[in-house]
Amino acid sequence: MFIGHFAMALGAKKYAPQVSLGVLFLACQLADLIWPSLVLLGVEKFAIEPGVTVMTPLDFQYYPWSHSLLALLVWAVLFALLYTALRRAGTRAAIVIGLLVLSHWLLDVLTHRPDMPVTLGDAGRIGLGLWNHPVPAIGLEVLLFAIGVWLYTQSTRALNRQGSIGFWALVVFLLLVYAANLLGPPPPSVKAVAWSAEAIWLLVAWGFWVDHNRADRAFS
Ligand SMILES: [Zn+2]
C-alpha cells in the first residue's frame, strides 16, 4: 500500500482543516517513516524474495515496532498528544491524527500477506493478501487516492501557483512512484529499499509546502 496511505491524509484535511497536510502525511505514513530507520539499525528485518506475493517481492520478517497494531496504537496516542501540546489544537485534530496513524495498519492488513503483527510478539500475524490479486489491489488503491485528492481539493484552494502546480505535481509524482514500484524490477538490496523509503520524509516536506500555499475553503 502506497498511494492509499496518502489518500487517507488528503481526505482527512476536510475533517481537520487547521492541520497541515505535512502533519497528516506524517501521521498516515508514520509506520513507513519509522520502519526504514529501524531496518538500517538492524532492529527490524525483511528480505527480498521475488514471488513472495504477486505484487511485491518484500518478505516482511520482523517489524513489530513500526507495524504492529499495539505499537501503532501507542504511536497514535503519542503523536496526537504531542501535536495538541505543541499546536494547542483541539480534540478533533488529535482524533484525526490518531486515526490516521492507525489507518496505516488497517490498509496494510488489506494488502499484506499474513505478516502484520498485532502485538510485539510473533503470534497471530494477519493479512488479507490483496497483493496476490493485482486488479482489486490496484483498483482499490487508485480509487482511494482519487477520493482523497478530490476531498483535498474540495476543502482547500490554491493561494498561488505553488499551491496549484505544487499540489498537482505531488499527485502525479505519487502516481509515478506507485507505477514504478509495480512495474520495475525487484530492488537490488535491502539497504536500497530502506534508503529509498527514507525519501518519504521528502514527501512530508512537500505536503507542508503545498499546504502552506493553499487555504481552507471554509474560511476564505
Ligand atoms: Zn507500511
Averaged over successive runs of 10 residues, the pLDDT of the chain (220 residues) comes to 97 96 98 98 96 95 97 98 93 97 98 96 91 96 98 97 97 97 92 95 98 86
Distance 162 CA to ligand 1 centre (A): 29
Distance 103 CA to ligand 1 centre (A): 10
Q: Give the C-alpha separation, 219 to 48, whole Å.
A: 48
Q: Which residues of 19-44 are buried (b: 16+ CB within 10 A; e: fewer)?
A: bbbbbbbbbbbbbbbbbbebbeeeeb
Cell triple for 71: 505499537
Cell triple for 105: 495498519
Place of cell 495538541: 84
pLDDT recorded at residue 20: 97
Distance 35 CA to ligand 1 centre (A): 8
Cell triple for 181: 514500484
Q: What are phi and psi of 45, to 5 degrees?
A: -135, 140
Distance 108 CA to ligand 1 centre (A): 6
pLDDT recorded at residue 124: 87
Cβ–Cβ under 8 Å, residues 168 and 92:
no
Cβ–Cβ under 8 Å, residues 173 and 32:
no
pTM given for the model: 0.96
Distance 141 CA to ligand 1 centre (A): 14
Alpha helices in 59-133 (DSSP H): 64-67, 69-87, 91-111
Cα-based distances in Å from 20 to 68, 156, 167: 26, 11, 13
pLDDT recorded at residue 86: 95
Model pLDDT for residues 99-128, shown as the tens digit of each residue = 999 999 999 999 999 999 999 988 889 999
pLDDT recorded at residue 161: 96
Cβ–Cβ under 8 Å, residues 180 and 173:
no
Place of cell 517489524: 63
Cβ–Cβ under 8 Å, residues 149 and 10:
yes
Q: Give the C-alpha separation, 54 to 105, whole Å.
A: 20
Distance 219 CA to ligand 1 centre (A): 34
Distance 184 CA to ligand 1 centre (A): 19
pLDDT recorded at residue 123: 83
Distance 31 CA to ligand 1 centre (A): 6
Cell triple for 153: 481539493
pLDDT recorded at residue 220: 53
